[in-house]
Structure 1
Amino acid sequence: MFWQILQSLVLVLGLICSGSMVLAKDAVPLADDPLIEQRLIVISEEMRCLVCQNESLAGSRSDLANDLRREIRNLIKEGKTDDQIRSFMVERYGDFVLYRPPVKPITWFLWIGPFVILLAGIIGLIVYLRRRNQNVPSTRLSEADNRRIDALLKDAKSSSIENTYD
């Protein structure tokens, strides 16, 4: 009885494992020429995946990234230069596809924006601290309070000197 259950369990696990292999995607074919593949990697490292947005086109495994790499591979096979391929991608998807978009009026905010936000944060912090300091009332100590503080400081100083010699 135990052996029949064990055999059934092994059979079910085997079917589950073989079923997942059937659903696995095929590997994306590489170019026949390693030079084309090397050029593809260099170009796609400079471009952003439009789906992932924080990955390069070379590192992304999304379907769109696979399609774009295939398109770049075809353009390389057609004899296009790297600059022509980049221009094609920018015409089609805009400057956002490049990790380093060119500096021009439409992309100024991309280049200057982080510094503007940092400067605004610093100014906001300074304004907040000044307002907070103005709201704190300043109090004057009386002469008796000053004498008491001096006495406490002398006691603390003398006790620390005694502790160093002990």
Structure 2
Amino acid sequence: MTLRLALSLLGLLCLLGSTSVRAVEPDEILKDPVLEARARHISEGLRCLVCQNQSIDDSNAPLARDLRVLVRERLKAGDSDGEVIDFVVARYGEFVLLKPRFTPHTWMLWLATPVLFLVALFGIFLAFRRRKTASAGGVAPLSGDEQSRLDRLLDRG
């Protein structure tokens, strides 16, 4: 029983230890907790241009550090969250956003999945409809002569 408990506790510790670790260095953290919370919120939505699948808040890359510092500098200068994001996008392009904006040049990105899903549903609907039509009208009923001949064959077998 104690071995099972020890293994359970060890598993729990491993699970808790595997949570995401932030790459924010202590010297980057702002003294104002409100500004720091805003900086973290903004950093979670910006892509590390080196790692590409991590936010700058999670990345240890030097460029991600530079971006985190830039975000904090802009916030200390009095910029709003939107102004900070717009500044970073103007400097590095839309790719820096982990969640792209809904603009005319990203409509295809946002709408492709729902449109393809609807097309697939329509295709499935047509396939079932054709199958139902083919099975309902595909075989003609037996004539009286055919039915009597079938009955005679089955009685002999």
Q: TM-score, normalised by structure 2?
A: 0.55
Mapping for residues 2-21 of structure 1, pairs under 5 Å: none
Assess, with a 3 A threshold, how the Cα gap between structure 1 residues 130 and 93 changes in structure 2: closer, same or farther.
farther
Q: Over aligned residues, Cα RMSD in angstroms?
A: 3.5
- AA aligned to 1:66 is R
Mark the structure with the bigger radius of gyration. 1
Q: Judging by fraction of residues, say which structure has more helix.
A: 1
C-alpha separation in 1, matches of 2:83 and 2:120? 41
C-alpha separation in 2, matches of 1:27 and 1:102? 26
Per-residue deviation, residues 116-143 of structure 1 (Å, max 9, x unmatched)? 2212322343455566678879334544
Q: TM-score, normalised by structure 1?
A: 0.53
C-alpha separation in 1, matches of 2:97 and 2:52? 10
C-alpha separation in 2, matches of 1:132 and 1:87? 54
Q: Is the 8 A contact 1:103 1:111 kept in 2?
A: yes
Per-residue deviation, residues 81-140 of structure 1 (Å, max 9, x unmatched)? 222211111112333333443332112112212112212322343455566678879334
Mapping for residues 71-150 of structure 1, pairs under 5 Å: 71-129=70-128, 138-140=138-140, 142=142, 143=147
C-alpha separation in 2, matches of 1:118 and 1:76? 41
C-alpha separation in 1, matches of 2:47 and 2:124? 35
Q: Is the 8 A contact 1:44 1:56 kept in 2?
A: yes
Structure 1: which 5+ residue stretches go unaligned? 1-25, 147-166
Within the candidate set 27, 30, 36, 2:28 is matched to 30
C-alpha separation in 2, matches of 1:46 and 1:73? 14
C-alpha separation in 2, matches of 1:82 and 1:57? 16
Q: Is the 8 A contact 1:30 1:37 kept in 2?
A: no
State, as a whole percentage, how many aligned pairs show the same letter.
36
Structure 2: which 5+ residue stretches go unaligned? 1-22, 152-157
- AA aligned to 1:110 is L
- AA aligned to 1:71 is L
Q: How many pairs does the alignment contain?
A: 121
Per-residue deviation, residues 54-105 of structure 1 (Å, max 9, x unmatched)? 4433234444322211221222233322222111111123333334433321
Per-residue deviation, residues 22-81 of structure 1 (Å, max 9, x unmatched)? xxxx98233251433222102112333344444433234444322211221222233322
| Aligned-partner SS, 1:48 | coil
